[in-house]
Structure 1
Amino acid sequence: MISRALTNTLQRLTTSFPVITVTGPRQSGKTTLVRSLFADKPYVTLEDPSERLFAEDDPKGFLARFSEGAIFDEAQHWPDLFSYLQGMVDEDRQAGRFILTGSQQFGLLAGVSQSLAGRAGVTRLLPLSSSEIPNLSSHRLNAVLLTGGYPALHAQMINPQDWFASYIATYVERDVRQLINVQDLTTFQRFLRLCAGRTGSLLNLNALAGEAGITNKVAQAWMSVLQSSDLVYLLPPYHKNFGKRLVKTPKLYFVDTGLACWLLGIRTEEVLALHPLRGALFETWVIGEALKARYNAGEAADLYFWRDNNGVEADLVYEKDGKLQPIEIKSGATVTSDYIKAGQKAAKFAGDEALTPWLVHGGEDNYQRSGVDVIGWRMFAGRVFK
């Protein structure tokens, strides 16, 4: 089993909360992780029709089997579970008693917030961060971008192209049908591919809707589904006003670069190396690494970007010790003077509030130059927020 960085956070939360929830995209390793960490607990998946029928017909009888606690996988499939667990944990608040997983945030987190507020510790497990990938030192950057982080692709001898095709067909489309009434899956697939083509770009739902041939309302609903399923992430602009006219639109990123590459028709490292979106895909990878580091630590994302109407921008910004950490992202392996200038410019918007800017690049070099911390992609994979 691949060691997961979320382990420490889960173990910490089980000392404080009677219910622990783990959300995240399908096939991110949620079930494997919780069954390994809590091997002493009974396991039941509520995707099993027989278990769900038992629960719906005789909820008290169903839960009587698990008075000492259990793992309930895909808990959102039985919405009444949250109300029943509220009564059980109010009677006995034993820490770490119940573990809930779910791949649809709408259902799982809605149930938790309504019935288990203050009783549940909430975590999110995304695909593998690069620091979790076995033998990362032997991987080339293009291979990392092309394969992505879904655990099955690193634990089994399986062709990524075959796996992603199956993933879209068996998981994404099924979840879409469960959450919203999509009549034409071909149109949804086109929308998904159009989103992949815009990873790293400002979100323009009107343009997406027009190219996909759907209404703005439908595009908004579909984008919400992709967010709920942890397939895409919308990076918000930094919220403080430094007296400048700011871009207020979020940026769209895929959570997994491997999935984005597959949707874009990129099948080999050679094609990726020359692809016009390689820079955007590298930026997507950096944002994903930062997002995973936050979630694995049990923290909110609290990640932003900055851009004003005069072209001053920082690809990634987060607050640290009352100041701002600006990060500029460049996919090239060779650090040029223009890269350094971009790193310096990324810090200018915050003035004295900015920490030493980072320049994360697609090469291996790590050093400080002209007031900029130059960080190669491999070091960044292990350094995020440390």
Structure 2
Amino acid sequence: MKIAWINRSIEAEFARVCDEYPVVTITGPRQSGKTSLAKRYCDGYAYANLESPEIRKLAQSDPKAFFSAYPAPVIIDEVQRVPELLSYIQVFADATSQRGQYILTGSHQLDLAAAVSQSLAGRTALLRLLPLSLAELKGAGVENSRDDILFKGFMPRLYHEDIRPGTLYSEYFQNYIERDLRKLASIRDLLLFEKFLRVLAGRVGQVINISSLSGDVGVSRATLNEWLAVLEASFIIFRLPPWFENANKRAIKTPKLYFTEPGLAAWLLEIETPQQVSRDPLMGNLFENMVVAEALKARLNTGQMPNLYFYRDTKGNEVDLILRQHRCLKPVEIKAAMTFSPEMTRGLKYFHKQFTDALPGAVVYAGDMETQSEATQLLNFYNTSELLKI
């Protein structure tokens, strides 16, 4: 079923910052819906896509002619391709009292962040838009099963067009990951880089072990660190930091790794049908990835810092997700099972013994029964965003 438009949770925040800043910058992975969001809510704006060789050449060779051809109010896509434009936008922004005049998008956060912080500090709002969320899909009447959603993923095109997940992710990999990342990192052997990505997908939800990765992929630690940084800068992966206090010497202090798009991870694992998901040994990891990514989207869509962590100590005690909000900690266990078991709360009980002032915990799982008690909240995964209503 094709859906013409799915309301995005970030819309209210986008409207708010358009009334507050002369420039609004939207970052996020390619095809996450940045341009669609801008065009839908900035009707009548001029539009320039710097991926177009002709438009990019004009912007590079004659910025004044570019802004004459595309005057404010204007949407400029992939602005990191011509960072020189930002100094002109700075001058224009300082000369007007109007808000929401320049809507900029970009899909490489390091390049864009460096350019924006230098030229547009204090003049632009920064938003990060990730692929569709479970809450957004539910709002559009889409409630696929656990296995269906892990197989399909969250790219908007999957819901707006008749396109199979395998086709989309293959195209995405070839057109964006290989092409973009090759420009940003010293990738000489694409087959080796693809192997690296598949190894990463096999470690989704795990603590990053560079030495082990280096041995499995066959490249140096320095190269792996460079590749990981580029993947993170391009919004392909993200890291979940551990929660620890200085006095807690037993806590693990290395981040865990997740894919921004769980469907891409499933594709890299060569999962070809929803039925294959439940049989895959990494199904639990993929489910955890989806829930952690959902919590991240819920925070970013309201313009907040992520403030998401996990907890693990050297004795193996672990909590999958820690929410830090209003200076309070809320522990969350993530379980792919469809039936609740009291054993699912074991990590929560241990965490509360270590952090006695923590908020009541929660279990996010694949079952339908939901409950709320003084000790524990039980949620279906489609309602993950409810966790943030502290």
Category of TM-score, reference length = shorter chain? over 0.9
Give SS of 1:198's match: coil
Q: Which residue of 2 aligns with 1:173?
A: 178
Give SS of 2:333's match: strand
Deviation for aligned residue 1:358? 0.5
Tell me which of 49, 54, 62 is aligned to 2:53: 49
Tell me which of 115, 121, 126 is aligned to 2:119: 115
How far apart, in 2, do the equivalents of 1:277 and 1:136 lie?
A: 28
Tell me which of 321, 324, 342 is aligned to 2:326: 321
TM-score normalised by the chain length of structure 1: 0.96
2:197 matched to 1:200? Answer: no
Give SS of 1:201's match: coil
Tell me which of 223, 226, 230 is aligned to 2:228: 223
* CA displacement, residues 193-241 of structure 1 (integer Å, 9 cap, x when unaligned): 1111110000112211221111111111110111011111100011423
Relative to 1, partners in 2 of residues 1:307 and 1:53: Cα closer, same or farther, differing over 3 Å?
same
Tell me which of 147, 153, 162 is aligned to 2:152: 147
> 237-246 vs 107-116, which deviates more?
237-246
Deviation for aligned residue 1:244? 4.1
Read off the aligned partner of 1:257 and give its amino acid letter.
P
Contact 1:364-1:377 within 8 A present in 2 as well: no
Contact 1:340-1:370 within 8 A present in 2 as well: no
Q: Which residue of 1 aligns with 2:386?
A: 383
Give SS of 2:277's match: helix
How far apart, in 1, do the equivalents of 2:194 and 2:298 lie?
A: 30
How far apart, in 2, do the equivalents of 1:104 and 1:17 lie?
A: 22
* CA displacement, residues 274-320 of structure 1 (integer Å, 9 cap, x when unaligned): 11101111110110000001111111111111111123321111223
Contact 1:9-1:298 within 8 A present in 2 as well: yes
Read off the aligned partner of 2:151 and give its amino acid letter.
L
Tell me which of 86, 97, 100 is aligned to 2:101: 97
Give SS of 1:181's match: coil
RMSD across aligned positions (CA): 1.6
How far apart, in 2, do the equivalents of 1:91 and 1:239 lie?
A: 46
How far apart, in 1, do the equivalents of 2:117 and 2:374 lie?
A: 48
Relative to 1, partners in 2 of residues 1:261 and 1:166: Cα closer, same or farther, differing over 3 Å?
same
Could you tell me which runs of 5 or more consecutive residues in structure 1 were left unpaired when the two chains were aligned.
none
Deviation for aligned residue 1:31? 1.0
Read off the aligned partner of 1:182 and give its amino acid letter.
I
Read off the aligned partner of 2:35 and give its amino acid letter.
T
Q: Which residue of 2 aligns with 1:209?
A: 214
Read off the aligned partner of 1:180 and give its amino acid letter.
A
Contact 1:193-1:264 within 8 A present in 2 as well: yes
Tell me which of 8, 14, 32 is aligned to 1:10: 14
* CA displacement, residues 178-198 of structure 1 (integer Å, 9 cap, x when unaligned): 212311111111111111111
Deviation for aligned residue 1:27? 0.7
Contact 2:235-2:260 within 8 A present in 1 as well: yes
Deviation for aligned residue 1:344? 2.2
How far apart, in 2, do the equivalents of 1:50 and 1:370 lie?
A: 61
Deviation for aligned residue 1:130? 0.8
Deviation for aligned residue 1:103? 0.8
Deviation for aligned residue 1:153? 0.5
Give SS of 1:133's match: helix
How far apart, in 1, do the equivalents of 2:328 and 2:247 lie?
A: 14
Deviation for aligned residue 1:136? 4.8
Aligned residues: 384
Contact 1:46-1:78 within 8 A present in 2 as well: yes
Contact 2:21-2:123 within 8 A present in 1 as well: yes
How far apart, in 1, do the equivalents of 2:315 and 2:143 lie?
A: 42
Give SS of 1:202's match: coil
How far apart, in 1, do the equivalents of 2:51 and 2:183 lie?
A: 12
TM-score normalised by the chain length of structure 2: 0.95
How far apart, in 2, do the equivalents of 1:77 and 1:159 lie?
A: 30
Deviation for aligned residue 1:113? 0.7
How far apart, in 2, do the equivalents of 1:267 and 1:52 lie?
A: 38
